[in-house]
Amino acid sequence: MVGGLTLTGDRLLGLLALAVLIGLGVRRRLRWMPLHSALALFVGVQLLTTLANAGSWPQGLKFVTIYVLGFAAFCCAAESARTPAGRQSFVIGWIVVGAGLGMIATLSAVWANLSQHLVWGTAIVPPLSLDPMPPRVVFAGVATFPEQNLLSSFLLVPFGLGLWLWHSRWMTAALAAVVFGLVFGFTRAAWLSMAGIVALWCWMERPPWRRVAALGAMLSLALLVQAAVVGASPLEFRILDPIKAGHDRNVSGRVELNKVTIDSWLTRPVVGHGAGSLNRLSIVRPSGKRIEKIWNGNLVLFVLHDSGLIGLGALLWLSVVAWRRGTRVLPLLAIGAGLFFAYQFTHGLWLMYPYVYLGLLAAATDDASEASRPRASRPRPGAP
């Protein structure tokens, strides 16, 4: 812990990226692109609104540094992926990392569910309905992430990249590992995002039926293995049971969090309360129990509470720029849309990988990079 800020692995990566960014700036080797300006505006707004609230929320000054680290990670990723060769290595590296994490999450979850003990790389899946099934404890894979939602949203990136670059046996194996990791993440928002990405892939690429069948076999096998080790199908107790019962504890809890967040934001709607200010809020249950340091995973409400309407405006502008640039590389745009949907439930703004993804998007849509690419080496249309 430095200055009250916990130095997790990805924040250490952000510090390394910051050092590299300073070096690039001194040597004037940093290429500035439209997404650089949009993300710099968003980060700048977080800094300014946090400074404006420093008197009432001084802890925001330590939390806002995460956005600076994220911007540094974005810049370094964009520089690393500027050339076709660099971009190819970057993408393959992300797929390999995703496959490794997917395998770790799957094996850990299988072990935990069979032994009924919490092991490293897993987390308990809370019941959603009043009459949960199965009666035994259910464990999700988290691998090196703090929770399964963040692992699942991270895996959406290598999943999408793997679909569009699916051309070899090793890619089939990597994609299968990612699919298993997504299934054993037990995250419904990521499942829906995955389905959306597959639908866009089928519409855009018109893949051969054997490839679609192979993907279906991966998903079916993952669900069957999961049902076998858990004792019931997750499609039943994660989706059907809450619908039948007319009650979803997760949804009810989020509604309660959203109300507290909105009520607090309305007291300072323009500039918000500063980075990480949700930590000072609490929820009081009807029983009188108080829950301190709440966390709202909704991306829009999180930004709105921290930096107000100004911050939300900067986020929307960043989204517009990313969308307009992403239409040139539709696979990356599809992945971004999947992430944005998943982030309405659990966002990753305080992790580095969303900024790394934006860096890849910036590099892939850079006009100069596209123009300088030799015609013979250009990938087929739509590929990252």
Residue 87 lies in a domain: yes
pLDDT tier, 377 (very low <50, low <70, confident <90, very high otherwise): very low
Q: What percent of the chain has pLDDT over 70?
A: 91
The pTM (predicted TM-score) of the whole model is 0.92
Residue 110 lies in a domain: yes
Q: What percent of the chain has pLDDT over 90?
A: 75
Q: Taking all residues of the chain, what is their mean pLDDT, rounded to a whole number?
A: 90
Residue 145 lies in a domain: yes
Give the pLDDT score at 149.
96
* pLDDT, average across residues 256-280: 95
Residue 4 lies in a domain: no
- Which range marks the domain in which residue 213 is found? 9-246+297-372
| Amino acid found at 188 | R
Give the pLDDT score at 250.
86
Residue 378 lies in a domain: no
* pLDDT, average across residues 92-106: 97
Give the pLDDT score at 2.
58
Q: Is the pLDDT confidence value at 371 over 50?
A: no
Residue 272 lies in a domain: no
**150-204 tens-digit pLDDT:** 999 999 999 999 999 998 999 999 999 999 999 999 999 999 999 999 999 999 9
Q: Is the pLDDT confidence value at 374 over 60?
A: no
pLDDT tier, 287 (very low <50, low <70, confident <90, very high otherwise): low
Give the pLDDT score at 237.
83
Nearest alpha-carbon partner for 242 in 148, 342, 123, 127: 127
User: How many domains is the chain partitioned into structurally?
Assistant: 1
Give the pLDDT score at 61.
95
Residue 286 lies in a domain: no
**43-75 tens-digit pLDDT:** 999 999 999 999 999 999 999 999 999 999 999
Residue 94 lies in a domain: yes
